[in-house]
A and B are shown apart, each in its own frame.
Chain A
């Protein structure tokens, strides 16, 4: 068995152990409520969103449905992977794994891909189901490029949260610290980032919350690049016609790449020096 076959085999085992875990069974109803549930709600012909917004296309509905990803799926990604390393470390199993003839980089890759796909597979299924629901309710499909962009964006945001959790898990001495860090990061980017944006705007002398002020929109757009949730929405917005927040699609995709590479590199480096 060569290194690639070993890696593939370990990844598949990692995916199946997480995918069919009790934790996933508990989280699945929440995910169903958040993702297809939101798609059902936002595709209602009589829906009126705050500010008088009425979603007019399937792509737009799926954009609003992405709130289910931001609030539900990312939290599930954290909950699924917060003990990816710390549990094995606390029980002594990590010492056995580290003494196996498998490069540390492969072990870390198996952990990342294993946890990522374990959350990605059900989310992609639910995301696809949401497309079907939207079509059923509105009779409209997003274009192939729109659909592809949304699938890739969903995969990327889940990868980022899995990476944050695994990094926390590899640094934490026990699982309490690990989950506190994971949930803390989720809370920062999901709820507190608006506060950070407001504070920066205030410090810069930009009118806060003025939807018609280009300075505010541009500042918010730029600051969103420093948040995974913001980058996720930037990625989805690249397929919306009437959204202009001063960040080009090329910059958005480049930042998404940075958000993927840097934490992965950090986690890989951490696993190379980790002690049981």
Chain B
């Protein structure tokens, strides 16, 4: 397993929200945020950060970017050159982390190159601007004003700002927004190249289908809590989403209770005019033989793919069939545990 480059221990940050009263008209109280997050970031690996809207993903990213100082807990960083694993301040984080925020609306008459140079000066690396523009595919557009950039090009420019100063950790908040499919593929290739160089990457994205093949590890976050972090296999195991087979057939649905062994479990069955569908977990190799012997008419037999939405639903206690659009409603997303009292 790769070495840990950054470790958050019991990290907490809560936003202050306005809470006026008669005696304190400018009073504030603690609002949403993140609570007791324990997270390890490993060298050269891509960590996917997934959670519903308002879960605290962006807050967590901003803490890691050194924008929000943590109010509780500790962040440790391993400096590979000094081989030193020690606490790091928010200013220290800004030196080693490249941050790509979500949806930056670059605008104005200033050129792309000039804009990037302005940011690069804050890192003291303005001499590297041309190389980075080439890396993100904007070298042809370097003299164009920001107003002429498409959404995808703006995303590339935001990525370019994150790559300034050769960061050891890269934070990408919804990086695929506005990118065309070819650009997404090129982007993924670029990320893999960076990981080969030892850069650790954290991606927060709602484009979960594409994350399965991209990330090495996954962290599920909900209501400011990190519910679980691990490889996709680990999380599948934890929520019993592994070793699943999806069988489709026609005719009468077989009596699975008599066919399945004790270790197996029937997760779901559906019947329709066209036939039936069953999802089974942990079945041994005799299942197909037993189904044929019971005269079942089988059309398809496939291993069920990893589904991050299912993982998220399992982790948050949501029922996949009942979820609606009102994600804010507590009845729609029951939380399992908060970790600390409100």
What residues make up the interface of A, taking CB atoms closer than 8 Å to B? Answer: 1, 5-6, 9-10, 13, 17, 22, 90-93, 95-103, 107, 275-276
Contacts and interface: CB of A to CB of B under 8 A. Distances in A.
Contacts of B94: 99-102
20 contacts: A5-B124, A9-B124, A10-B122, A13-B117, A22-B109, A91-B107, A92-B101, A92-B103, A93-B104, A95-B99, A95-B101, A96-B104, A99-B66, A99-B67, A99-B101, A101-B123, A101-B165, A102-B94, A103-B91, A276-B67
SS class of chain A's interface: helix, strand, loop or mixed?
helix
Nearest to B92: A101
Q: How large is the interface on B (under 10, 10 to 19, 20 to 34, 35 or more residues)?
A: 20 to 34
B68 A96 contact: no
Given A22-B109, A91-B105, A92-B105, A6 B68 contact: no
A4 to B, nearest CB: 11
Nearest to B65: A99
Contacts of B276: none
B119 A97 contact: yes
Contacts of B158: 96
A97 B123 CA distance: 10
Contacts of A95: 62, 67, 99, 101, 104
B195 interface: no
A13 B101 contact: no
Contacts of A5: 124
Contacts of A6: 121-124
- Which of A90, A92, A96 has most B Cβ within 10 Å? A96
A1 B62 contact: no
Contacts of A102: 94, 122-123
A100 B122 contact: yes
A101 B95 contact: yes
B45 interface: no
A100 B100 CA distance: 11
B110 interface: yes
A1 B104 contact: no
A18 to B, nearest CB: 11
A10 B120 CA distance: 9
A90 B103 CA distance: 11
Contacts of A91: 104-107
A6 B118 CA distance: 11
A91 B66 CA distance: 20
A96 B164 CA distance: 11
B230 to A, nearest CB: 27
A61 B12 CA distance: 62
